[in-house]
Each structure stands twice: as C-alpha cells, then as structure tokens.
Structure 1
Amino acid sequence: MLRPPLFLHRYHFFPKKRWGQHFLVDDEVKERIINSAELSSEDIVVEIGGGGGVLTEELAKRSKKVVTIEKDRELVKILKEKLRDFSNLEILEKDILKVRFKDIKDIERAEELKVIGNLPYYISTPIIFHLFEQRERIKFILICVQKELGERLVAQPGSKNYGILSIKARFFSHPRIVFDIPRRCFFPVPQVDSCLLRLDILKEKRYAIEEDVLFRTVEVCFAQRRKTILNNLVQGFSMDKGLLKRVLKEAGIDYRERPEAVSIEKFILLANRLRSTG
C-alpha cells in the first residue's frame, strides 16, 4: 500500500469523508496525468480541487497561468503556503458549481482553457455538465472520475452502460478514457477504481438540433430502461400509439427496441420528427 501524502501529517489535516476527499499518492499516475494534459508555456489551466497540491505544482511549473478552485478552506490555506513561490498560480476558495469562468479576472476572455482535476465521486456528473455549459471557453476537460462513470460517458449503443450520460457527452464532446487508475493510488483508499477521462470539446456544432429538444426526447425514452422505446414514448408524450409507431419507422427505429440500442443520430431524427408532428 502507498503511503499517505506528507501534507496530512505536516498540516494536521484529516480528509473529509462528507466531501469525498481522496488524494492522489502515486507519482507514476501523477506523471501520466500531467503528460496527458499536453501542457505548454502558453496554456491557461483551471484546476478543480487542488487537494494537497500534487497536481497543482506540476501544472504551475508547465503552464502560463493556473487557476485552482478549491472548496475546502483548510486546503486553500495549505495550498497558498506550499505554493506561495508560484506567481502564475491563483487559488480561489470557491465551489466549482458556482463558478463562471467569464467572471474570473485574467481568464475571462480565454477560449482554450484546459480544465483538469480529480473530482469527488458524489458530484462528478453535475460538475461535468456545469463545465459543458461553459464549453465555448474550454479546449478539453481532463478529469479523474469513478471508473463506472467514465464507462457510462464513453459507452456505445447496444452496451449496458449506454444511456443519457453517453448521449449528452457525445453531443458536446469527443469522450474517451485515457487510462484506468486503481483505487490503491489514492488515500484514503476509495471503494472503487477510477479512470482518467478526457472530453475534447466540440467547437463546431456536430448535430442539427437544439440540445433541449434532443435531451427531452432522450430522457423520455430512457425513463424506464426495461420498457420498449414505444411504451416509454406513449407514457412520456401521451401520444397515439399508432402515430408514434409511424414516427419511429420514419426515424429508422424499430418500435420494439429498447432505448440503449438507439444511436444518437437516430434519436436526433426521432426528436425532429416528434417536433414536426406536434
């Protein structure tokens, strides 16, 4: 088992279970994460959750500007003391879910931010979608997440992990798992393994549909995974079953299929047909 990070003893810090704090303690994994960020001296980086500064220090060494957003007041004090010599590092005591990049001085006009971090498992999904809302300012998102979540975000149609998260991730980005991270690489050791997930933001719109129209249809279709797509649509939209069968056929979808078998392209055809039907 790897040793606990030294800062815990030095600063008498105890990880807070309620905030899902697990600190990276494997130097090899740290280097792989930093290398995966493809950093240059011109990069502006936003780090989510500085923790004990393991990644923060390396990011500051290799980037033009780093803004670290850390919610824990104790950790903010530790980070500011440990990394006080880095003039290109700004540490903000904030909740990432309440942060808008356009409101942060010095990066408010940035359009190619690299967002990097080790996300608490319990709040990873809300953070990812909060970042998608600011995608026009982001080049890519590189984050450690629970392995199960990563597999859901990159899942393809027909797999058991494919669902709403997979479709939303593909609508806004090109998602891929860079590598898996065993649970022993963190302290305290979590109950599950992690992965490094990269989401390359799509700068040009890939699909000819408004996101709210598509996602409303997808959410109805996945309301009950064990039901056929037809039955979910009947229940969700209160439309005539015969009409819905015709709409599904026009979208190239067998009405007896379950939603996990349907590609994003066919969901888009379906959503557009439903909208035009009324």
Structure 2
Amino acid sequence: MTSEQPTHPEDGPGGLLGAARIRELAQRHGVRPTKQWGQNFVVDANTVRRIVRAGEVTAQDHVVEIGPGLGSLTLALLEAAGRVTAVEVDPVLAAALPGTVAEEAPGAAARLEVVHADAMSVTELPGPAPTALVANLPYNISVPVVLHFLETFPSIERVLVMVQLEVAERLAAGPGSKTYGVPSVKAAWWTDVALAGRVSRTIFWPVPNVDSGLVRLVRREPPQTAATREQVFAVVDAAFAQRRKTLRASLRSVAGSGEIAEQALLAAGVDPRTRGEQLDVAAFARITEELMARVTP
C-alpha cells in the first residue's frame, strides 16, 4: 500500500473524497456553502475522475483549477497532472486546501500551489506557464472566467469545465441554434468548443436546482482579421442585444447609421437582413473589419 491510499473509510475510490468526508471537512473548517460564491461541492469520486479524463490531463500538464472548494477535483487532478495551481476566492477554503491534500495524498502535496484570489483578477500564476484549465466552475461566473483565462494565458491549450447545463449548451452551440449567442461566439474566437457530457445535480452538496454539463474547449488561432478582438466583441454584443432585429438594425449602434451598417455587411458578404444568430465568429470578424474601415477616423 502507498502513502496516497485513503485513510478514511468514507472516501471515494483511490483516496478521493466521498460525501461523508466532504461534510467532515466542511464541519472541521466551519464551511457553509454560500450562494455568493456559487459553492456546490462535488461529492462523487467517479465524477471528478471523469472530468480529469475528459480534460485529457497528463503528467506534462500544469493545470489551473478555479474554485477548488474542499479539494474533490484537486485530488483527482493531482493523480494525473504534473502540477496544479488552484485559485480560490474563499479565504477559509484557500487556507484549508493544502492541509487536505497533505492528509489525503502526501506524495502529491509539493505539486500543488494555492492562490487566494478572485479568478477574474488573476493575471499571472506561479511556476511554469499553465497548459490546461480544468474546473467545476461556479455558475454565476463561468463564462467570464473562461474567457478571461483564454485571453490572459495564451499557453492554455485545453479547457474542460463543468458548468450549469444551460451554460454548457450555450457555449457549445453553433450558428442557427436557439441557444447560440454571445458566449458561443466569444468562446469560438479562441477555441473549438464541444459538449463533453451531462452531469446529474445529485453529485453535488448542496444539490443545485439544475443539472450540469461538461464543456471541452481546444485552442486554435483566432480569425484572421485587421480588427481587434475588442472591436469584434463589441460588434457581437450589439448584434445580440436584440436578437429579433436584423443586423442592419442592430449594428446601427456601432456603425452610426443603418446605411453604414448595410454597406459594411454587403462588403463582408452578409445579407443585411441576416440576424446575428446565423453567423459564425469568422463572419463577425469580416463585418467588424468592414465597419471599422467606415467609422474609424
């Protein structure tokens, strides 16, 4: 037997945390899950191993985990990754995590770094450049956090996140889908996005009101365009501000007039009567480039 096998009979397989151990740790540290930080702790060891497999984590990876909570996914990541940096906003949980890992998997403790911070404010991380982001993300910040880390850390090649099922479907939706929208287009700026599975709400404590989904994002080159990402995203926001409007109407706010919007759309090869939900990110980049050529002094 190795030093990393479970020391608690309530643990999940292979030393991972089970429901009883999660509740024991929460009680020990005086933790009560809060809606403020979107805390729902995973209590199923099979699920965290499934997440690690779906994330294709290897020993060469430096994985960033956001919102590690009591350490369920952290321990599974440490089984596979070379290094894990966990970003936790809750000061109590951030302080407790190293001790939990030292108890449950002492051989892996040196490969964990805990950063106490709001994930949206993180612009640098200790150690080598991160290669993957794997996380059970709080529902209230999931999309902004994913976009922030893709923009801030270009070394991140793969993302596997568990988010509210509705959010997962939006991120992975393609043009023409009812769920296709701003998150879909913005995520596609950096990555190819796909659903990687559905997760029952029953694997969480406390149990949320909705099921979750796994989303896999694999980095690729952004669209080739003279427009900046900020300019393209401003056009995307305008296009979806009122979904029922045509692009000629919805882009007036950034073009200055319907006539200029129509000229730019035609030059980009897009029918002005088209709606935003019908276009992919490359089309938005072309439209933005044509708009900027007409509205930039």
- TM-score, normalising length from structure 2? 0.83
Q: Is residue 249–residue 258 contact of structure 2 (8 Å, CA) maintained in 1?
A: no
How far does the alpha carbon of each residue in 1:73-120 deviate from its partner, in whole angstroms, 9 at most, with x for none? 22123312211221111222222122223xx3322xx2x521111111
Residues 157, 34 of structure 1: CA spacing in aligned structure 2 closer, same or farther, 3 A cutoff?
same
Q: 1:197 aligns with which of 205, 211, 215?
A: 215
Q: 1:94 aligns with which of 93, 103, 117?
A: 117
Q: Is residue 94–residue 114 contact of structure 2 (8 Å, CA) maintained in 1?
A: yes
Q: 2:280 aligns with which of 238, 252, 263?
A: 263
Q: Is residue 38–residue 139 contact of structure 2 (8 Å, CA) maintained in 1?
A: yes
Q: Where does residue 219 of structure 1 map in the other structure?
A: 237
Q: Where does residue 124 of structure 1 map in the other structure?
A: 142
Q: Where does residue 269 of structure 2 map in the other structure?
A: 252
Residues 40, 269 of structure 1: CA spacing in aligned structure 2 closer, same or farther, 3 A cutoff?
closer
Q: Is residue 94–residue 115 contact of structure 2 (8 Å, CA) maintained in 1?
A: yes
Q: Where does residue 239 of structure 1 map in the other structure?
A: 257
- Work out the percentage of aligned pairs sharing the same amino acid: 34
How far does the alpha carbon of each residue in 1:139-175 deviate from its partner, in whole angstroms, 9 at most, with x for none? 1121111111111111111111112211111111111
Residues 17, 270 of structure 1: CA spacing in aligned structure 2 closer, same or farther, 3 A cutoff?
closer
Q: Where does residue 174 of structure 1 map in the other structure?
A: 192
How far does the alpha carbon of each residue in 1:171-203 deviate from its partner, in whole angstroms, 9 at most, with x for none? 11111111111111111011111111121122x
Residues 17, 275 of structure 1: CA spacing in aligned structure 2 closer, same or farther, 3 A cutoff?
closer
Question: 2:19, 2:81 → 1: CA distance?
Answer: 28
Moved more, 148-157 or 128-137: 128-137
Offset, 1:137:
2.1
Q: Where does residue 35 of structure 1 map in the other structure?
A: 53
Q: Identify unmatched segments of 5+ residues in structure 1.
A: none
Number of paired residues? Answer: 270
Q: Is residue 62–residue 132 contact of structure 2 (8 Å, CA) maintained in 1?
A: yes
Whether 1:21 and 2:39 are equivalent positions in the alignment is: yes
Question: 1:3, 1:127 → 2: CA distance?
Answer: 27
Offset, 1:11:
4.0
The two structures, once aligned, show a CA RMSD in angstroms of: 2.1
Residues 205, 226 of structure 1: CA spacing in aligned structure 2 closer, same or farther, 3 A cutoff?
closer
- TM-score, normalising length from structure 1? 0.88
Residues 188, 274 of structure 1: CA spacing in aligned structure 2 closer, same or farther, 3 A cutoff?
same
Question: 2:169, 2:117 → 1: CA distance?
Answer: 29
Residues 240, 120 of structure 1: CA spacing in aligned structure 2 closer, same or farther, 3 A cutoff?
closer
Offset, 1:254:
2.2
What amino acid does structure 2 have at the position aligned with 1:79?
A: L
Question: 2:172, 2:213 → 1: CA distance?
Answer: 12
Residues 246, 79 of structure 1: CA spacing in aligned structure 2 closer, same or farther, 3 A cutoff?
closer
How far does the alpha carbon of each residue in 1:182-238 deviate from its partner, in whole angstroms, 9 at most, with x for none? 111111011111111121122x34432421222222222222112121111234422
Question: 2:270, 2:239 → 1: CA distance?
Answer: 12
Question: 1:58, 1:132 → 2: CA distance?
Answer: 23
Whether 1:51 and 2:69 are equivalent positions in the alignment is: yes
Q: Where does residue 148 of structure 1 map in the other structure?
A: 166
1:62-73 aligned at under 5 Å gives the runs: 62-73=80-91
